[in-house]
Each structure stands twice: as structure tokens, then as C-alpha cells.
Structure 1
Amino acid sequence: MLEGDVLYRARLLAEGGLRRMLSDLDPAVTWRGETLRLPKTVCEGVRPLGGLGLLLVPSVFTWPRVFSITTPPWQPTIRYPPRGVATLWEHRESDPPQALAAVLGRTRTRLLAELDQPASTRELAARLDLSEPGANQHLTALRRAGLASAHRTGRYVLYARTAVAETLLAGDASPIPSGHEYERAGIAEVLDPPRAH
């Protein structure tokens, strides 16, 4: 969630600059001319950045408020709740479209469905009970097909759905059948061919 928020903020910065990036941080974060105004409960004052920059730190522990550090000698910092923080502890089961799974396969369709927020290979592999190399192979295929994009953030590569993938996922609301339902339909061998012993 934190990595996804950093990627989201970077996109806003690239699209519309600093004002755009900070515009939905919190209603209490406002601009007056060239001055960024932050809520402060302990003390008030003005601190010129003087080339120090402003460090943004998403944190699930700050919700619902924004906290700031402006006292010298520390780096000026804003700690804020990331987008979607209320869903952090929800358990969700994704039911991707059956028709799309018939074309892409169940695993790739489930990976696309999980990419409602940008995520790393490791995170996706853990969520879907896949090996990291296996998840990486599927994500590479989805990226080559134009259904996922990859963005490097530090040591990690975060994957996100493309607009094409969003359209495909919205195309059919019927969930993917379980393996047993495929067997009852007589097509288990197509999706899970028998293994040689």
C-alpha cells in the first residue's frame, strides 16, 4: 500500500507538479501563494526550506491526520495516511471474470484482478500462493501483452494494470469457477493437463 501511494504521488508530480501531488494529501494541507500550510497542534511558525526539500512519508499509523516535522535541524517531513488505508486489514477474495480466464488462464487473470493497487512480484506471489519465479513469468507475459505495466521504485518493481486490462476485467462479472467446477464441465485437462509420474 505504501509503495503504491509513492508511485501514485510520483505520477501526480509528473503530471501536474508539486501542487497537484499535494492536492489530495489532506484537506488541512493548503497553499497560500508559494507557502504550503500544514496543520500544527503544538507550535506555529514559518520554515523556509532553503533547498532542504520536503520529505513525504506515507504511514498507516497516522490516519486520519497529517503530521509534520518542521523544527530544525531535522529534514522537513510530512507523514500522511496512504490512499486506501481503510482497506488495509480487510480480507478480500477476488473473483475475476470467467470469460477472461478462459483466454488468459486462471493464474494470469487472478494476477490482473489483484493489481487494483500497484504491487511487487513478491507480494503478488504471496497473495496467490505462487512461487516468485512463476509469478514473475506470468507478470512478464502480461506486461508484454500490454495488460500490465512495470515501474521501478528503489529495489522493487511494482506492477499495475493498464487501461486495456481494466476494460477486460470490467467486461464480464461472472467469477472464475474453481478447479472442481472445471472438472464437472469436462475441461480440467485443458487448464491442468495430467502430469507424467
Structure 2
Amino acid sequence: MEAELSFTTADLAQTRFALSPMWEVVTSFKLLRTGTEPPPHRRWAAQVRPRLTEAGLDRGWLAGLIPGDGYLADFLNPTPATPFPTLAEELAAVRRTPGERVHYELDLLDANARAAGRPSHSARFRLLREAPEAALAKVADEVETYWELALAPYWARIRQLLEADVFHRARQVAEHGAAQVLNELHETVRWDDGSLRLVRRACALSRAETGSGLLLVPSAFAWPRVLTRSVAPDPPQLAYPARGIGSLWEPRATPAADAVAAVLGRSRTLLLTELDTPTSTTRLAQTSGMSPAGVSQHLTALRNAGLVTAHRVGRSVLYARTAVADALLTPAA
């Protein structure tokens, strides 16, 4: 099967890229729902899935709105107003979703569930129908919880990947034009004589159902597929796998550790190297041989310097290295 999106000169001129925290929420949650995550994400999923189960997010609002396959609620992916929107900005747009839009998308979700032989999420869906404003606030609250458990500790690494993809493709546009960039997004996406064709896609994607232009959203979790959103009057959105996903979760070498240690000290440098994966104070004390109090003191200093971030996960706090720390531990070329 094949979907096709026709382009005018004006549509091509209005094609743009954006990073979207909500697309990462949707695609990563969808990935976890499948039960058999693809190899590039197994390391991440092994860390995250137990946290979600403990928090009950595997059976909450998102579980009903983002099935493991088939249609998912489009209102979770509002059109980004800027190239780099924050999660808070996108959640504000989710909360403003008109009630009639919510009703229409719930009907699609119910139909998808029936076709797949799945039970409907009647209690939560009933609240979404009867009191969409209050229910959408609950959905947004759950998204914030999911973000803290599954994405915030890793966001510096994910965002670095997504930004690198956008900058690469922006250079391609400048050197070769937008048509070639569209033709190289994904193996199932093909640019042909003024039309964007999505091969093997049973989705509705036409100008009659969308606004002008095209919004391209790189995603760390969409791999190995592309996902689309077609909601008038917004421009169509296409979330595609960002370049470099295969190495996203690989341990990162720290060849500049000795040079950094001369400035920060060996203890703090050791903690930074251990934070290649978000880790708790207790775990850091075990792996570094330092006392928990000593680790805590060093982490406070590193956090104040913008080299680590802290994220509450249940009763514990995970510390993660920032992009600044990653750059510091990588020697200059």
C-alpha cells in the first residue's frame, strides 16, 4: 500500500524541521508497549520498563491513547510552534485540544481496539468524552511523570542526536535542495515528481486532510518506521528515525579524563565517567569506592557547575551527565 502527499512550490517552501519532546514521549512509549524492543533500544528499555511498571504507567492514560500497534491519539502530537519547543509548551497545547477533536480521536481508538480484538479503556475514555478539559489535565500530568522516569535522565543525549540530524539535513538542503533531502529520509519515503510517497503505509495522507507545508520531526524512537500525523488545518507531520540511532545508547569513551582530572580532581572526574548511564548516589558509591556522603558532595558541586542533572525516580534520584560534560570528556580534534 502507498500513501501520497502532493506538493506545490508553496508547500515545499513551507517545509521545515522541528524537535518535539511529545513525539519522543509517544514513540518511546509505543516502543515499550510492543514488549520486544528493537536492538538499538534494549539497554534503555531494560532500565526504564521496571520504573514504569512500578509507577503503574503501563496501565494508565497513555496505555489507552498509545496502543502498541495501529492508530494512536493525534492530539498528543500538536504542531510545534517553534523549531525547539519545550515539553511544557507542547503539553499546554495538548491541554487546549478542543472537545470535538478528542471525541473524534477516541472513536478512532475504539474502532482500532475492536478491530484488533482488544478491550476498550472505557472508564478513562468516558471521562475524556464527558469532561475533556479535566481529563486532558490528567493526561498531561501522566506525561510529565513518564518524562521524568523515561526520558529526562537521557534527554541531553537524545537531544544531541536529534539536533545533529537536523543540522545535517539543513546542510543538505543548502547544498542539494529540499527534494533530495525528502528522498533520503527513510527507505519507505520517496520523492517523485512533486509528490512525497510513503510506501507500504496504510495511512491517510493527502492535502485534502491537512494544511500546507510539511513538518519533519527526527525521532530517536521511531526506528525502524516513520509515523505521520494528518490533522487539518495543521501541516502534515512526519516523524522519521534520526541518523545515528544505532550508537545512541553505547557507552561513550572518555579519552580526555586525565586532562579533566587535572582541573576537576580525580574523584569528580571518576563520577562523571561513571555517569555515562543515569545512576543513583548509592550505585555511584558502590562503583567508585567513595562514601555516599562524599559522592553526594561531589555531585552537588558538579550539578552547580552544570555538568550533571538530577531526576527523581520514585524514592531515589538519578544523576545524569549533561552535554557540557560529554564535550568536556571528549578531546578537541
* TM-score, normalised relative to structure 1: 0.45
**Greater RCO, CA 8 A, separation 6+:** 2
